[in-house]
Chain A
Amino acid sequence: MNAKASKNQLTSIEPAYYEAVTEAIRKEAVKILKEETVVGVVGYLPGRRKGTATPALVTSVEEAEKLIFSPACVNNLSVYLTKAKKGVLKQGKVGIVAKGCDMRALAGLMTESQLQREDLFIIGVVCPGVYGFGVERTGTLTEANIARKCRECTVHMPEGADVAAGTHAELADLTPEEAEEMARIEAMPQAERWAFWKEHFSRCIRCMACRQVCPFCYCEQCLCDKNRPQAVESSPRPAGNMAWHLVRAMHLAGRCGGCAECERVCPMDIPLNLLNRRMAKELKELYDYEAGLAPVEKGPLNQYKEDDDQSFIK
């Protein structure tokens, strides 16, 4: 089976691998529901259309037996455990299916005191990758249909889960498209870079899908919804759009877990993850900090140390 093949030779991940992960998830979900370890499990169910999946909150054994994992399981389910979706699941310990990149969000949410580790049962997925947007959904994952973020994944093997579903499998020799794109933009003169983002933001329709799927956008009052008085123009026009995206990038700096959900859901194809990555790079350079690998006491932007570098204040 492919999953056992050596990393260097893998050019496709066959449906059999996802089927094996599916079996493992079902087994575990059924077990923890039967044993009443959890009140529910957040996972994925198949969608009506071929090669699609949708998040699901399952509370019965029958439903748990229908859970799946496939390349269509793109969502970061941790958003369902945040304040933004409060009340979705009954109080109590909750099971959640989490890919490596989703685990970072869980760790980040723990850092921000939004979640307690002991309230979670994490079914980690040893994840070879998921579909990109608008690709052919054949069931087999290849270089042609894998998501951009997965091309540079460093967390195929989730750490810190209660159980792991799947063995190791990943595609070899993928071009790091995002890193290349970021390098290209960083090399641009400032005016050109400004024009690049202006052009992208001019298309933003302020549907807020990027905010609504983000596990870290859990504020109960978003600055951008405020209209008495209005803080940021809420009409989809270049000025307000630019302000909105700057506010968001700043607000997510040092917090964003890099799941790239904001970019995936943008109906206008705005490459938001480039902004996130750039902010993450700043945090790495300034504070030697990477968000969400493991829960920490405090993130760099919500604490103060006497010996902090003050040289930027002029």
Chain B
Amino acid sequence: MQIITEQNLRNLIDLLVKEAKLVVGPKLSGSVVLYEPLTAGTELTLDALPRRSSKELFFPVCEDILSYKREGGGMKVTDVDRSKFPETVLIGAPPCDAGSPSILDAVMSWDYKDEFYLERRKKSTIVGIACTKGDDACFCQAVGLAPDAENGSDLFLTPLKDGSYACNAVTEKGQALVAAHKNLFAEGAGAEPVPFVDQAVQKLDLVKIKKWLEEHFEDPLWERIADICVGCGACAFICPACHCFDINDEGSTDDGVRRKHWDACGFAKFTNHASGHNPRDVQNKRYRNRIMHKFKYYDDKFGKTLCTGCGRCIRACPVGIDIAEILETINGKAE
């Protein structure tokens, strides 16, 4: 088994930065931990689950997709040069984050290929880390992942009791990363792993839940939730799997930028048509869409569940709406 010490993990970050790679990992930013570019190995912090998920590495909060300028008689449009996107290493993502890009790949490379997302994905390597610090909002196990799930990671680290990490190169990208920095890794038996967290939510029967959703497009449950949901975008914005976006031209009629930025099904204007008609005009239809999209539609289309059980939406919802509790209710309801 390959082992890397904590010091060498930090040294690896220093080396990657020197190689002009973009290294992103959990880092303290003001009072919150976020996935941010690391300039040195010392900046990596593995104490807390970052407030926002790592999806923004591939699907940024906001990105320019083209710029326009009136010139002479016409309009000059300039594309963003995607070949300039840097080679990236994401380091220190727990399974509920490391697992999400491999879920999103499906929708991003479907009938329309999102070249911004795909270019970043192509150039990225994900170093996942087994999770030993979950809380009572976590339910990755209930949706088929686990605190030690390697899904989505190129290289997977397991914390050991002596402070070092056991490494498993899951993909070729992971193997290449190890091969290029051989001297930082040692061959060894390794100490015992740090135990994983126990989770409060029992394993969910996702097939059963999907069946219930298929039969309950109309159900009092949706009203019960909608009554208290205040319709913000907090749950969607910090979710590693939510990927709805809006596109806006910002600037003047002479000069400006077209931007793609996060959108959320909680918002009243989500799905508002240009005609003024809004098929999801009330809150319960919007929350229903959130659950349907994650546990039915995405599965119908791509055979995957659009939730990694990270619990972020549970921790952040201003009114305490608890998706795990809703799923448990549905799980109990279905025959």
Does B83 have its Cβ within 8 Å of any Cβ on chain A? no
* Max count, chain B CB within 10 A of own CB: residue among A48, A80, A200: A48
Of the candidates A47, A53, A240, A267, the one whose C-beta lies within 8 Å of that of B237 is A267
A to B CB contacts below 8 Å, 30 in the list:
A47-B322, A49-B314, A54-B322, A56-B228, A57-B227, A75-B319, A75-B320, A80-B228, A88-B227, A203-B34, A205-B237, A206-B233, A207-B233, A207-B237, A208-B233, A209-B232, A209-B233, A213-B230, A225-B268, A225-B269, A227-B248, A233-B248, A236-B261, A237-B259, A264-B318, A265-B234, A265-B316, A267-B52, A267-B234, A269-B32
Whole-angstrom CA separation of A271 from B172 in the bound complex: 45
Does A199 have its Cβ within 8 Å of any Cβ on chain B? yes
Of the candidates A50, A199, A237, the one whose C-beta lies within 8 Å of that of B30 is A199
Of the candidates B30, B230, B237, B269, the one whose C-beta lies within 8 Å of that of A212 is B230
| Nearest 4 A/B pairs, CB to CB | A54-B320, A265-B318, A209-B232, A212-B232
What interface size band does chain A fall in? Answer: 35 or more
Query: Which residues does chain B contribute within 8 Å of A79, judged by CB atoms?
Result: 230
Does B68 have its Cβ within 8 Å of any Cβ on chain A? no
The reply to whether B137 and A49 form a contact with Cβ atoms under 8 Å apart is yes
Whole-angstrom CA separation of A16 from B137 in the bound complex: 26
The reply to whether A203 and B29 form a contact with Cβ atoms under 8 Å apart is yes
Docked complex: A20-75 residues within 8 A CB-CB of B: 47-50, 52-57, 75
| Given A85-B230, A236-B261, 9 new contacts (CB under 8 A) | A48-B325, A49-B314, A52-B320, A54-B321, A55-B228, A206-B261, A235-B261, A265-B234, A269-B51
The reply to whether B319 and A55 form a contact with Cβ atoms under 8 Å apart is yes
Query: Which residues does chain A contribute within 8 Å of B31, judged by CB atoms?
Result: 269
Query: Which residues does chain A contribute within 8 Å of B250, judged by CB atoms?
Result: 230, 233, 235, 240
Number of B interface residues in the complex (CB < 8 A): 41
Whole-angstrom CA separation of A88 from B282 in the bound complex: 11
Does B238 have its Cβ within 8 Å of any Cβ on chain A? yes
Question: Considering only CB atoms, which chain B residue lies closest to A53 in the complex?
Answer: B320
Does B265 have its Cβ within 8 Å of any Cβ on chain A? no
Does B262 have its Cβ within 8 Å of any Cβ on chain A? yes
Whole-angstrom CA separation of A213 from B322 in the bound complex: 17
Distance (whole angstroms) from the CB of A209 to the closest CB of chain B = 4
Query: Which residues does chain B contribute within 8 Å of A208, judged by CB atoms?
Result: 232-233, 267
* Max count, chain B CB within 10 A of own CB: residue among A50, A205, A234, A265: A205
Quick one: given A53-B320, A207-B264, are A234 and B231 in contact (CB under 8 Å)?
no
Does B136 have its Cβ within 8 Å of any Cβ on chain A? yes
| Interface 0/1 of B235-270, CB less than 8 Å to A | 001100000001010100000000101101001110
Whole-angstrom CA separation of A139 from B136 in the bound complex: 16
